[in-house]
Chain A
Amino acid sequence: MSSLSIRHLLGLDGVPREDIQLILDSSDTFLEILDRPIKKVPTLQGKTVVNLFFENSTRTRVSFELAERRLSADVVNFAASSSSVSKGETLLDTARNIEAMKVDIIVMRHSAAGAGHFLSERCTSRFINAGDGSHEHPTQALLDMYTIRQKHASLEGLRVCIIGDIAHSRVAMSNIYGLLSMGAEVAVCGPSSMIPYRLEQLGVRVFSDIDEALRFSDVINVLRIQLERDAGANFPSVREYLNYFGITRRRLDKLGRDITILHPGPINRGVEIESEVADGPYSVILPQVTNGVAIRMAVLYLIGTSAE
């Protein structure tokens, strides 16, 4: 098959394995384009993409924008304050006004979980979710899976552990759905107060001992600890976090074998991961960023051209 069964990419929950497979496979082609001297193809020429960002984001927006421009789409960036309500205009009115200007794809980031679901049922454009609250961030998970696949050939049976504040992480949730769908064994590790309620019901192993989690894993995906939000609320201090959950050189030495380390960024060096580890031989953090552009090109292409 060569087209997606889904009309929008709102999340990876419920997305068929074939669709994920197609996105990952298609990204090979786009990654190759990124290494050319002329990094541009006419795939989305004449299509208009709006980046509708209600939350601050630099890297995700830049990654999407580069992907869009390299596909020759016309790109409009729309940054709004975090709450549409506070602006006086509703989200629906904002989206309908943008649509009235005849656009094809809306890439949206919003602080409210389900904002993409809400709009996609009331609008005609294609939606790509670039992060909605604590719900999902599907393109991040796809680029994570793509990066893992570069190192490990197949996701089937691979043991992947997501480490950190799982309860507030859209990246974790999308990774869990995507990895499970692709046949990986998935675990999470973090302070118990940062594990979402009843997560194990999804078929995920839950660790609260980091060394045990490392022994389980072929791959770890280390999440950013949101210092501004969490310190003092769900865990006592940064010091305690680094000591008990941080990915340190000492811990990896003790493990005594290879492990692949991902991080969705931005990194808090010395909080969830030591600099030496982030820059070390097991880290695939920078390849993740490169792959992000390729994955988003694939998603934009496939969503932009999938059947009605």
Chain B
Amino acid sequence: MAAHLFTNGHIVDPVTGIDTQLDILVVDGIIERIGAGLPAGNAEVIALDGKHVLPGFCDMHVHFREPGFEYKEDTRSGAASAAAGGFTAVACMPNTDPPIDNAGTVAFLYKQAQGLAVDVYPIGCVTKGRKGESIAPMLELRDAGVVAFSDDGSPISNTKVLRIALEYASMLNVPIIQHAEDPLLFKGGAMNESIVSTQLGLPSISRLSEDTVVMRDLEFTAYVNGRYHLAHMSTAGAADAVRLAKTRGLRVTSEVAPHHFSLTDEALRSYDSNYKMNPPLRTAEDVRAMKEALRDGTADAIATDHAPHAIHEKEVEFVYAPFGIVGLETAFGLSVTELLLEQWLTLPQLVEKLSTNPRRILGLDDIRIEAGSKANLTFVDLAAQWTVDVERFRSKSRNSPFHGRVLTGRTLGIYNNGQYVPST
């Protein structure tokens, strides 16, 4: 029997509505008691001294690179990075080699994740081989345990395939997660199109690439009554389209990555490839639109798009560098600094974006912080200031533009699957 007593934690749980300071006794992964002044017995005592206890965070968009690119990240290092960032669950994108488009690969990933404190859920491909030509065996993938379908990294561009995918997935009640991009407008682009791209002379990606694909996709979603989730929303235009779709009652959800609510394309003036991601960093107007979208519910989730790359891949000419940054270990600090402190979100709202909503989108059970429930918890210090140091990351990769940045809000640890994992 393993027992942990978390004393004087400020529990905030939007699902049960609890918002109070109490002790939590967890035995073998289950919350046994919640109350004041609980006796420790032979439980290991973790004194929280008023720090917060929240439902475990869920990042519905990560790239753990397994199988195929384990030199960037693998399931274990990715899960360690997630735990350090306060996440008890992640959903992995299937742009691996081979891609996750069959039950065997899904089973392999579940095996790799066995015994970890972090629940690692695979996302299956929408199309066979991520080629965009014909749909993958979605029923088989669902039964093998995928929580969503996506060809992330590439858009589903063939409109006939898009329609069939939305229709087919709608009978499973599993979302199609779209990487919204027009391949012809995107081609060769390295950054957002703006005065900055003009000045830097870099090939650009206009917001039209995202805006028009989202608008088109939402019409498809309405027509076939599909379930559509927009990955890494980055433009004001896409947010407007999703907002309108929600008022029409469409089954649409969306996520925003921390870098899209905290950085603009002005940062690229250094030609530092750690600012290169797809969708690209946009303008100040778009950053504000992402914050508005999170506040008014247009954006349901905060998801990192954690995309590890090796140093030698990023340390090249900007146009040749791959897209993407690691995000798991900075997501919470950025959320507190940019959203909570600036009063775009309350703490319960932030918890919804980091835990409740992404879990519901993926069809995972709600976390309830109450006696008898599975203990799935994230411990955080909302006031702690810290300096991001990529050398301390648990991820195998170091490609973060936030190195050296001072953030407020730090995770202290997680408890999940009967394991307590402190962040440091």
Asked if A113 is an interface residue, CB under 8 A from chain B, the answer is: yes
- In the complex, chain A residues whose CB is within 8 Å of the CB of B203: 134
- In the complex, chain A residues whose CB is within 8 Å of the CB of B317: 84-85, 91, 110, 112, 114-115, 118
Q: Which of A146-154, A191-199, A207-215 contacts B (4 or more CB under 8 A)?
A: A191-199
Distance, CA A135 to CA B191, complexed state (A): 14
Given contacts A114-B271, A117-B270, contact A198 B198 (CB under 8 A): yes
| A173 in contact with B199 (CB, 8 Å) | yes
Asked if B45 is an interface residue, CB under 8 A from chain A, the answer is: no
Asked if B110 is an interface residue, CB under 8 A from chain A, the answer is: no
Which of B194, B199, B206, B312 touches A90 (beta carbons < 8 Å)? B312
- In the complex, chain A residues whose CB is within 8 Å of the CB of B315: 90, 92
A sample of 7 more A-B contacts (CB under 8 A), given A112-B317, A113-B319, A196-B198, is A113-B318, A117-B270, A133-B202, A134-B202, A134-B203, A197-B193, A201-B195
6 of the cross-chain contacts (CB-CB < 8 Å) are A83-B320, A112-B318, A118-B271, A135-B200, A136-B201, A198-B194
- In the complex, chain B residues whose CB is within 8 Å of the CB of A196: 198
Asked if A13 is an interface residue, CB under 8 A from chain B, the answer is: yes
Closest to B315 in A: A92
Asked if A144 is an interface residue, CB under 8 A from chain B, the answer is: no
| B271 in contact with A170 (CB, 8 Å) | no
| B197 in contact with A170 (CB, 8 Å) | no
Interface residues of B in 153-207 (CB under 8 A from A): 193-195, 197-204, 206
Closest to A136 in B: B201
Complex interface bits, A101-138 against B, C-beta within 8 A gives 1, otherwise 0: 00000000010111101100000000000001111100
Count how many pairs of residues, one from A and one from B, have CB atoms less than 8 Å apart in the complex: 70
- In the complex, chain A residues whose CB is within 8 Å of the CB of B364: none
Asked if B40 is an interface residue, CB under 8 A from chain A, the answer is: no
- In the complex, chain B residues whose CB is within 8 Å of the CB of A135: 200-202
| B316 in contact with A85 (CB, 8 Å) | yes
Closest to B202 in A: A113
- Closest chain-B Cβ to A80's Cβ sits at a distance in Å of 13
Distance, CA A136 to CA B271, complexed state (A): 14
- Closest chain-A Cβ to B151's Cβ sits at a distance in Å of 26
Distance, CA A191 to CA B74, complexed state (A): 50
Interface size on A, residues (CB 8 A): 27
- Closest chain-B Cβ to A87's Cβ sits at a distance in Å of 12
Closest to B273 in A: A118
Distance, CA A83 to CA B317, complexed state (A): 9
User: Do most interface residues of chain A lie in helix, strand or loop, or is the interface mixed?
Assistant: mixed
- Closest chain-A Cβ to B274's Cβ sits at a distance in Å of 12
Which of B198, B312, B320 touches A199 (beta carbons < 8 Å)? B198
Complex interface bits, A195-235 against B, C-beta within 8 A gives 1, otherwise 0: 01111011000000000000000000000000000000000
Closest to B268 in A: A114
Given contacts A90-B312, A117-B270, A133-B319, contact A202 B195 (CB under 8 A): yes
Given contacts A84-B317, A198-B194, A202-B195, contact A173 B271 (CB under 8 A): no
| B319 in contact with A112 (CB, 8 Å) | yes
Which of A91, A170, A199 touches B201 (beta carbons < 8 Å)? A170
Distance, CA A77 to CA B316, complexed state (A): 22
Which of B201, B270, B312, B320 touches A132 (beta carbons < 8 Å)? B201
Distance, CA A221 to CA B199, complexed state (A): 19
Which residues of A does B touch, CB under 8 Å?
A: 13, 83-85, 90-92, 110, 112-115, 117-118, 132-136, 170, 173, 196-199, 201-202
- In the complex, chain B residues whose CB is within 8 Å of the CB of A199: 195, 198
- In the complex, chain A residues whose CB is within 8 Å of the CB of B198: 196-199, 202
| A90 in contact with B195 (CB, 8 Å) | no
| A113 in contact with B320 (CB, 8 Å) | no
- In the complex, chain B residues whose CB is within 8 Å of the CB of A113: 200-202, 271, 318-319
Closest to B192 in A: A197
- In the complex, chain B residues whose CB is within 8 Å of the CB of A112: 317-320
Distance, CA A198 to CA B192, complexed state (A): 13
Distance, CA A92 to CA B311, complexed state (A): 12
- In the complex, chain A residues whose CB is within 8 Å of the CB of B312: 90
| A133 in contact with B201 (CB, 8 Å) | yes
Of all A-B residue pairs in the complex, the 6 with the closest CB atoms, nearest first, are A135-B201, A114-B271, A112-B317, A134-B201, A113-B201, A196-B198
| B316 in contact with A90 (CB, 8 Å) | yes
| A118 in contact with B195 (CB, 8 Å) | no
Distance, CA A84 to CA B195, complexed state (A): 28
Distance, CA A132 to CA B319, complexed state (A): 12
Distance, CA A28 to CA B320, complexed state (A): 40
- In the complex, chain A residues whose CB is within 8 Å of the CB of B318: 112-114, 118
- In the complex, chain A residues whose CB is within 8 Å of the CB of B271: 113-114, 117-118
Distance, CA A289 to CA B125, complexed state (A): 58
- Closest chain-A Cβ to B414's Cβ sits at a distance in Å of 38
Distance, CA A199 to CA B201, complexed state (A): 12
Interface residues of B in 287-324 (CB under 8 A from A): 312, 315-320
Distance, CA A202 to CA B201, complexed state (A): 14
Complex interface bits, B101-142 against A, C-beta within 8 A gives 1, otherwise 0: 000000000000000000000000000000000000000000
Distance, CA A218 to CA B403, complexed state (A): 49
- In the complex, chain A residues whose CB is within 8 Å of the CB of B200: 113-114, 135
Of B194, B312, B316, B317, most A-chain CB atoms within 10 Å: B317
Distance, CA A90 to CA B315, complexed state (A): 8
| A197 in contact with B201 (CB, 8 Å) | no
| B270 in contact with A91 (CB, 8 Å) | no
Closest to A169 in B: B201
- In the complex, chain B residues whose CB is within 8 Å of the CB of A92: 315-316
| B202 in contact with A197 (CB, 8 Å) | no
Distance, CA A114 to CA B201, complexed state (A): 8
Given contacts A117-B271, A118-B271, contact A197 B197 (CB under 8 A): yes
| A84 in contact with B204 (CB, 8 Å) | no
Interface residues of B in 313-352 (CB under 8 A from A): 315-320
| B319 in contact with A197 (CB, 8 Å) | no
| A84 in contact with B201 (CB, 8 Å) | no
Of A110, A132, A134, A197, most B-chain CB atoms within 10 Å: A197
Interface residues of B in 203-240 (CB under 8 A from A): 203-204, 206
Which of A13, A91, A133 touches B199 (beta carbons < 8 Å)? A13
- In the complex, chain B residues whose CB is within 8 Å of the CB of A173: 199, 201
Distance, CA A133 to CA B319, complexed state (A): 10
- In the complex, chain A residues whose CB is within 8 Å of the CB of B270: 117
- Closest chain-B Cβ to A79's Cβ sits at a distance in Å of 17
